[in-house]
Amino acid sequence: MTSTEKGSGRFWPFRSKWTPCRSFHDQEEERRVRANDREYNGKYKYADNHIKTSKYNIFTFLPINLYEQFQRVANTYFLCLLILQLIPQISSLSWFTTIVPLALVLTVTAVKDAMDDYFRHKSDRQVNTRQSQVLISGKLQKEKWMNVHVGDIIKLENNQFVAADLLLLSTSEPNGLCYIETAELDGETNLKVRQALPVTSDLGADITHLAEFDGEVVCEPPNNRLDRFIGTLMWKERSYSLDNQRMLLRGCILRNTDWCFGMVIFAGLQTKLLQNCEKTKFKRTSIDKLMNTLVLWIFGLLLCLGIVLAIGNSIWESSVGKHFQIYLQWEANNNSAVFSGFLTFWSYIIILNTVVPISLYVSMEFIRLGHSYFISWDQGMYHSGQDVPAEARTTTLTEQLGQVEYVFSDKTGTLTQNIMTFNKCSINGKIYGEVYDEYGHKIEITEATPCVNFSHNPLADVKFRFHDTALVEAVHDGNVSVQEFFRLLALCHTVMPEEKIKGQLVYQAQSPDEGALVTAARNFGFVFCDRTPETITVVEMGKPVTYQLLAILDFNNVRKRMSVIVRTSDGQIKLYCKGADTILFERLSTSNEDLSCVTSEHLNMFAGEGLRTLVLAYKNLDRAFFEEWAKKLHIASTVLDDREECVDALYEEIERDLILLGATAIEDKLQEGVGETLLALSLANIKIWVLTGDKLETAMNVAYSCNMLRDDMSEIFIITGPTAVDVQMQLRRAKDHITGPLTHRCKHLDQADVNTQDSVFEETVNAEYALIISGHCLAYALEAELQHLLLDTACLCMTVICCRVTPLQKAQVVELVKKHKQAVTLAIGDGANDVSMIKTADIGVGIGGEEGMQAVLASDFTFAQFCFLQRLLLLHGRWSYHRMCKFLRYFFYKNFAFTLVHFWFAFFCGFSAQTVYDQWFITLFNVVYTSLPVLALGLFDQDVSEQNSLRHPKLYEPGQQRRLFNKRQFLLCSLNGIITSLALFFVPYCTLGYSPRDDGTTASDHQSFAVVIATSLIIVVSIQIGLDTNYWTPINHLYIWGSLAMYFFILFIPYSNSAFQELPKYFSFFGTAHSCLTRSNVWLVILLTTVICIIPGVAFRFVQRELYPTLTEKVRHLQVSRKQSPLKQIRRRVRRNSSRRSAYAFSHQEGFGELITSGRNMRGLLTPPPGRLQNSTSWVENMLRRISEQSMRIGSPSPKSTASHKTDERQDSKESM
C-alpha cells in the first residue's frame, strides 16, 4: 500500500505504469474530489456522466460522412470527372451520366451509415437515461445517469448496474461488505467482494449523516487499469488509504446486497470501463484498399493515354488538320495545334473514364448487401435454443470474411458456457459416473441417457444430472468412504448459502467449480445449508449436523489446495483437504501407495477426456497437537515481518500424512462444436489466439479441453516474468528454442531482411508450440522495445493464450498483429470487456450471451454460438471473397475491352475525341446491357458446393494469400481486355473496310462500324461471363440471355425513324441497325470477331486445368463426377492422453476463507430444513469425424434456404453448356 502524508493534503502515488486519460485533461496528474460539493468539483471541469459512442450528430453528419466517403479514391476521381464534364469545350459526354450514379452511391452509403449511427444514438440514450438515486440537498432524488456528477453520493440497490466509478461508503451488509459481478469488465461471472472503510461504513443509510459527509479524495487521474486504484480519503483531519477493494466500477452489478452508498470519483468517458473502450473506427476491406491503389494506377494509365492522344492531336492538327480548316475550322478560342491538343487531352480523359465506371461501386454495394442477407437468412446459423438467427450488422465487410488469418477469441461465454458439471469421480479406487449395458459394455452418455432419480431427496437441485445409479446406492448402503467423500465436499469450500425462497437454497460460489462440487454433495445427501464464523451446518441423509469450524487454510496460487479443520459432534477433530493431484500426492501417508496408484490411473483417464480434477484427502488430528498448532498459527498471523511465510510453513506442517479418499472430475462445458470448429479453422491456416480476463490455469484448462493445447506439443512456453527484463529473456529464450536450428544460417542477414526471415521461419517450423502470457507480462511485452519480439515469438507458435488481460490490452494485441503482420484479423467475444478488440479488429463478431449485448451492439456480425464461426468463414466468407474477386476480374476485363476501342479509333479519326459508339450505347452498356449478368455472378456463383466448402478447409487459403484478386490478377484481366479491344476494333476494320453492300455502296461508314463493334462486344462479354459462371441458376440464365436479348430489342429503338424525327440531335443513327444487321457478311464478321476473342482464353483455361489444376478445380472435378464418397458419421467423445489439471484453476483469487472465519460477512443463521479403461482413437480422427458429421448435417436441404445456399443438383449444367 502506498504511504500517505496524514493531514498534509498532498498525495503522490501516481508513478506506476498505466495509460493516462486520452480524451480529456491529459495534464491531470492527480484528481481531487470533495463529497456533496458540486461547486468545488466544478472548477476542475471533470467529465459528467454522459457517454457518447455515436460518430455523428445532425450538424456533423454531412461533412464527416462525405469526408469518410471521399477517402475512397474512386469517389474523388468521379467528382473530378464530373467537374471536367461541366466544361463544354472538352466534354463530349453529358454531365448527368456521372452525377446521377455518384449521387446514388453517396446517398445509399450515407443512409446506411446514418442508420448504423442511429442505433448507436439509441443505445447511448438508453444508457444515459437510466435512473439512479442521487443525494441532492439532503434528499435522495431520482436522476438520469447523464446528470450524475463527480462528487455526488449515489444509492444502489440489489441487482442494479453501477452508474459510475464509485468509492464505496456504506452497505447493508455487516462490516461494509458488498458483492458485485464484474462480467461486463472481465467476463467473470463469479462474485467479487468489496468493502468500505470502517470510518465510512458507520454512516450506514442515515441520509443526514451522508449529506453532511464532506470527505475529500485525492487519487490517480483517469486511466484504464481495471485491477488497480490508488488514492487517499481525507476526512476529519485524518487520511485513509484507498485501493481497488474500496471501488465499485461502472459496469459492475450489485449482487446479494440490499443497498449501498458510493461517492462518484470518475464519471462518463473517464470511467475505467469507458477508458478501455476504443472509438468506433471506419473499417474498410483489403479489396477496398487495393481498389484505391488500382484506381490510381488506372488514372495514371488514363493520363498516359491522354498525353499520347493529345500529342497525336497536336501533330495531326499541325501537319494534316491545317489543310482542312476551310471545312473544319478551329474554334475562336482555339488558335493553335498545341492548345487543341490540350483540350483533346481532357476530352479523352472523360471518354476513357469508363474503364472504372461508377456502376462498379454501385454493383459492389449491391453484391455486399446480398451477401449480408445470405448470412442473415442462413438456417444453418440459426440457434433454436435461444431463438437467435445470425445477423450481418454491416454490409461492407462480407468478402473480408474470406481472408481472415488471425482470430482473437474471448474464452468465457465464447468458447465455454461457463457451466461446471460434476461428471465423474473416483472413490476408494472405484470409478463412478460411467454407464454400462447388460453385457458390460460401456455406453456413451448422451442427452437421451437416463438420469439418476433424486426425488427421494427434497433438498436436491433439480437441474443436477448424473447417470450412474451405483453411486447413489453406495451412499444409501452406508459406504463409509463414499459418505466421507461427500462430507468433505460439503465442508471444504468457501461457498455462501442464500435462501431466496423458503426451502430453496441458492449457492453463491466464488468460482463455478466450487458450486458444482457443493451441489453434487447436496444431491447425494450431504446438503450444505448454513454457516457462521464458528460453525458449518450440513444436512446429512436428512439429519442436520453442525460442525465447529476451527480453521480455514485457504487456497492460493502457490498452495493449490484448500483445507478446513472442523470438530464433529462427538468431539473428534478432522482436517479435510482438496487440491491438485501433484500437490496432495506428495502429502499422503505411506499407507496410501496402492490406492494412490489406482487413483492416478483414474486421473489420467479423466484428464484424457478433458475433465478438471481435484484430489480429496482427510486426516484425524490429535487434540493436543491441534491446540499447540493453533497457538503457533495465532502468533504467526500477528507478526509484522514475513507473516505469509510463517503461516504457510504452519499449513505445511499440519497438511501431512493425509488419507486419500478419491478424486473428482468436473467438466467445464464447451459450447457445442467448439473443438470441431477450432480444428477446421486451424486446417484452414487460421491462427487462433485466446485473449481472456481469466486466470492462467483457467485458460489452460479450457485450451486443453478444446485441444488448442495438447501434451504431444513440442513445447508450451509460459511467460510469467515479474519485470520487463525477465519477460524479454523468457520471450527471447522461447524464440531461440523454436528457431535455434535455423538462426545460425542467417546471422549474415542485415536488418532489412529480418522480417522476411521471420516469415520464412513461420513456414519452416514444423513442430507445434504454444505461448501463454499473463496480463502483467503482456503490459511489458507491448512496449515498443519488446512488441516485435512478442509478435515474432507468438507468430511462430500454433497456439497463443493471453490471460488476465484488460479490455484495452486485448485491443492492443489485435492492433499489434494488424499493424505489423498486415493480416486480416477477426475478434469474437460476448461481453463488454470484448468491445475494444471487436472494434479494433478488421472484423468484429459478437455472440449474444450471458454478459449483455454490448459486444453484439459493437460488432459487425452476430450469432449465438461459437461453432457458427466455421460456417461464417469457410462458407459465407469464402464464397463472398470468391464471388467478389470473380466479379472484379470480369468487370475490369469487359470495361477495358469496351473503353480502349476509343483509343484505337483515335488513330483513325484525327485524334478528334470522337467516340466509336453511339452515346446511347455508352450510357446503357454498364447500366443495362451488362449490369445484371455480373450481379448474378457476384451474388450466386459457387466454385464448389456447400458441403465441399466445409469438408475441405484448405480451400480457404487462396483468400488469405489474396490469390484471386491482386495486382497481378488485375494486370492479367486488364491485358485480356486490351487484347479483346484490339480484336473488336481491327477485325471489323480490316474485314469491313472494303466490303461493298448489295447495292454496291461501301459498308465502311462510321455508324455501321459502330453497330458491328457494339454487337460483337455484347456477344463476347456475354459468352465470357457464361464461361466464368460455375453455378448456373435460373437467375443467371435470365440475366445473361435476357440482357443479350435486351440489347437487340433496344438497338432498334434509338435507330428508329420515330426517334430520329422527335430528337434528331440525340438519335442520329437513323436506320443503321436494320441496314447493317440484315447483311450476312456482317454476321460473319461478328462471328469471326467473337471466335478470335474467346478461343485463346478457352484454350488457356483448358491447358491450365489439365496441367496445373488448383485444389478448387480438383474438388470441383470430384464434385461434378460424383466420385466422392461420404465419410462415416461417427460421433464420439474426444479422448486423449493429457496432463491432469486441477479444478482449482477456476478460483480467480484467494478464497473467502478470511472473511468467513472473521464473521464479517455473516447476517445470521439460516434455520436448517427438517427433515473400466478402453482404447481411444487419436483426437484428430475424432475431430475429422465430427467435422464430417457436422458438414453432412449442415448440408441437409432446408425449405428456407436461399438461392445461394442450395445444394447443387444442377451443378453439372455448366458442363452441358
**Which are the catalytic amino acids?**
410
**Listing from the earlier edge strand, what are the strands of the sheet with 177-181?**
191-195, 177-181, 253-255
Burial label for 301, CB within 10 Å (0-12, 13-18, 19+), is middle
Spatial separation of the C-alpha atoms in residues 56 and 118, rounded to whole Å? 9
Per DSSP, the three-state class of 269 is helix
CA-to-CA separations, 527 to 428, 503, 1187, 1213, in angstroms, rounded: 22, 12, 42, 68
CA-to-CA separations, 397 to 233, 406, 643, 781, 876, in angstroms, rounded: 50, 16, 57, 31, 11
Q: Where are the alpha helices (DSSP H) in 546-590?
A: 581-584
φ/ψ (deg, to 5) at 1132: -130, 160
Beta bridge partners of residue 615, listed in sequence order: 579, 663
Residue length of the chain: 1217
Cell of 541: 441423509
- H or E element that contains 812: helix 807-821
Cell of 815: 492492433
b/e per residue, 329-362, with b = 16+ CB within 10 A?
eeeeeeeebeebbbbbbbbbbbbbbbbbbbbbbb
Spatial separation of the C-alpha atoms in residues 1018 and 1037, rounded to whole Å? 16
φ/ψ (deg, to 5) at 1205: -115, 5
φ/ψ (deg, to 5) at 917: -85, 165
Burial label for 58, CB within 10 Å (0-12, 13-18, 19+), is exposed
Burial label for 70, CB within 10 Å (0-12, 13-18, 19+), is middle
Cβ–Cβ under 8 Å, residues 688 and 682: yes
Cell of 782: 507491448
Cell of 1176: 481411444
Nearest to 72 by CA among 237, 283, 233: 283
What one-letter code names the amino acid at 594?
D
Nearest to 286 by CA among 371, 403, 374: 403
Spatial separation of the C-alpha atoms in residues 291 and 312, rounded to whole Å? 31
Q: What angle do CA 1081, 1084, 1085 make, to 5 degrees?
A: 90
CA-to-CA separations, 966 to 297, 646, 958, in angstroms, rounded: 13, 67, 11
Pairing between β-strand 131-136 and β-strand 442-443 as defined by DSSP bridges: unpaired
Spatial separation of the C-alpha atoms in residues 177 and 191, rounded to whole Å? 12
- Secondary structure (H, E, C), 628-680: HHHHHHHHHCCCCCCHHHHHHHHHHHHCCCEEEEEEEEEEEEECCCHHHHHHH
Spatial separation of the C-alpha atoms in residues 739 and 759, rounded to whole Å? 12
Burial label for 939, CB within 10 Å (0-12, 13-18, 19+), is buried
Cell of 974: 486488364
Spatial separation of the C-alpha atoms in residues 873 and 878, rounded to whole Å? 6
Q: What is the dihedral of CA 821, 822, 826, 827, to 10 degrees?
A: 60
CB neighbours (10 Å) of residue 2? 15
